[in-house]
Chains A and B, each alone.
Chain A
Amino acid sequence: MIELAHFQLLSAGLFCVGLYGVLARRSAVLILMSIELMLNAVNINLIGYAAFVKATEAHRALGQVLVVFVITVAAAELALAIAIILRLYRNRTSVNLDEIDLMKW
């Protein structure tokens, strides 16, 4: 029997994998992929709650609607980020974040 806790565990695991990717990777493209992982972890969490929470139909639909929103926003964000990374590569022939450190003292 699959319960809410399984959804949460999956979601938390996926989120940690994403977080690790964001913190440990050097390539901007991989970091972008890790962010997508974290967003999907959130989506799983939302779907889990929408399926198991004890509430009216309208409230259940709310979780699913939110997921659709997140997917949409994530797509838009990805398009923007890929564009930035492309420009970055054109300018510096690298997407290694170690070399992109102008935002400092």
Chain B
Amino acid sequence: MPFADTIGTDWAWVIPALSASAFILIVVFGRFLPGGGAFISISAIFLGFLLFWYVLADVLDTGTASFSITWLRVGDTTVTWGVAVDRISTVMLGLVTFVALLVQVYSIGYMSGDPRFGWYFAVHGLFAAAMLALVLADNLLFLYIAWEIVGLGSYLLIGFWFERRPAAEAAKKAFITTRIGDVGLLIGIIMLFKATGTFEISTIFHVAEQGGVGEGTLTTASLLIFLGAMGKSAQFPFHVWLPDAMEGPTPVSALIHAATMVAAGVYLVARMSPMFELAPGVMLTVAIVGLVTFVLAGALALVVTDIKRVLAYSTISHLGLMMLSLGALGAAAALFHLVAHGLSKALLFLGAGSVMHGLNGETDIRRMGGLRRRMPLTAITFVIGAASLAGVVPLAGFFSKDEVLLAVLDNRNPAFIAFALAGVVLSALYMARVTLVVFFGEPKPETESAHESPRTMTVPLMLLAFSAATTGFIAFNWTDSYGGFGDFLTGEGEFHIEPWLTATALLLAFAGLIVGWLYYGSGRLSHRAAAERFPLVHRILVNGYYFDRLYQWTVDRVVLTFSRSVALFDRIVINDTGVDGSAITVMLSALRVRYVQTGKMYNYGAAMALGTFGLALIWWIVQT
């Protein structure tokens, strides 16, 4: 096919453009189309997924490419819009289009009968377009625009059922919390622009490597950019929005809170890692934030009872692991885990959605049990996803976690690896808990009417389960030209393993699973007794380390007090004195001066004559 041969990296920009056009088409014509126009969005993302393979083939053949058009010219500065197609962005393209495609197909079944069915798919198109543009962006300004549209899409999708107050609140919380980080990102971008005079990422790297950016500026800008990544990727202490975001439709959580939006922060840091590496303190910060998030969020996932919140805390935890990997100079390992986790967690979320679909929207795992008999397909796929994230051989999560631990071992001191291994145990434990409680054990009365989901929902589950099970094998150095996934992505050295580390991680994962089975499967140990034995720990965990209360207190006491004083200043000084004051002054003086207007013609005439005489007099004096 001669035409198909011409499709390559220069077609990469078409992928987001397709989804963006789908958004516009559905918004304009959706109401006249069958199914609200859902098929437009799905075909757009499907074509995008097909194009991804062409782009991948071209990237493997010809390597990195970038294309840009001039957007605007201000003085000596030219701002461009462009795409940079390299191996990292190509991998992300594949992940985003694949997961988005499956999620949209799944949504046909999950969202059927919703009054805003078409609008749901329109926003999915908008979100996918923004996310793909973010992945492809070759300059920071374009990236920032896409970044914000991603935030908008997430706001619209989390608050999709905005008639329900918690959903509207959660959407606001997600938007505002991530915005706090975004402000940092914007300031960081502006600082880099001031230092280098360009937004283009590759040029910024070039200048920074030549030492063209002062060390202080570099460190501050990197930290600010990392702040944006922390907000989007829900790192401590910005993690509070992600559990609440579970108020959105479940497929949305699978797309946004597993594989795409929360991954944007990790992707940004990975993208900027050549610059971050020039500032060693920043990399250490990234590693510490990641480690703290990994362990603390993992502990929270043990106590929450809402199936989606368990997955949300698990997501936060694994995003922390990715950040840890980035901080340990393992960008390739982080992206590998991003892909493996994205596939597995999307699978788990869709599985949770399938469970909720079968139970009429029930999310409390205490009211579930023994669902494997009534929903066999969901159960099998869910177990695969959970096992992958728990780190069971040979699923994707095992390989990616291993690479991450290896990077930590190579580049960070032993304390990091010790805590990371503790986090691995936690991962296995909470995955065992949620799986055993929901799908095994005794059926509860609430599960009597449970039924398997329709085909549009189970087929995406199976496809995701297959990819979550097999993706791990790309880690190996299969052929001479393919030296492992890390080598493929960034050329960060050959694939290698550290046998004792792999064995330890695997043992700990199984230990976690067995402990989970003892507590939640066999019932030999009682988790209630454990909670009663450590009431303080349990209370802290159930309250999520009191972060929400702390933020509520801060907003009530600090922000609102400050706002009230500002409002008072505005009322008294700006409004009453400045605006009203000048108007009142004019009015009062007019009340006096208006008596000059007598209405008598001869007064006006006299004024005119006197004025003329006066002017003539002045003229005469000036002349002589």
Contacts and interface: CB of A to CB of B under 8 A. Distances in A.
A97 B595 CA distance: 18
B597 A103 contact: yes
Contacts of A19: 609
Contacts of B605: 22-23
A102 interface: yes
Given A22-B605, A23-B609, A98 B600 contact: yes
Does more than half of chain B's interface fall in helix, strand or loop, or is it mixed? helix
B585 interface: no
B594 interface: yes
Interface residues of A, number: 13
28 contacts: A19-B609, A22-B602, A22-B605, A23-B602, A23-B605, A23-B606, A23-B609, A24-B602, A31-B601, A97-B600, A97-B601, A97-B602, A98-B600, A100-B601, A101-B598, A101-B599, A101-B600, A102-B599, A103-B597, A103-B599, A104-B597, A104-B598, A104-B599, A104-B600, A105-B594, A105-B595, A105-B597, A105-B599
Contacts of A98: 600
A100 B603 CA distance: 13
Interface string A10-27: 000000000100111000
Nearest to A25: B602
Contacts of A104: 597-600
Interface in B588-615: 594-595, 597-602, 605-606, 609
Nearest to B604: A103
Interface of A: 19, 22-24, 31, 97-98, 100-105
Contacts of B597: 103-105
Contacts of B609: 19, 23
A22 B599 CA distance: 15
Contacts of A105: 594-595, 597, 599
Nearest to B594: A105
Given A100-B601, A104-B599, 10 more contacts: A23-B606, A23-B609, A97-B600, A101-B598, A101-B600, A103-B597, A104-B598, A105-B594, A105-B597, A105-B599
Contacts of A101: 598-600
A66 B599 CA distance: 34
A30 B595 CA distance: 27
A97 B598 CA distance: 12
8 smallest CB-CB distances across A and B, nearest first, come from A104-B599, A101-B599, A105-B594, A104-B597, A97-B601, A103-B599, A23-B602, A105-B597
Of the listed residues B595, B597, B599, B609, the one surrounded by the most CB atoms of chain A closer than 10 A to its CB is: B599
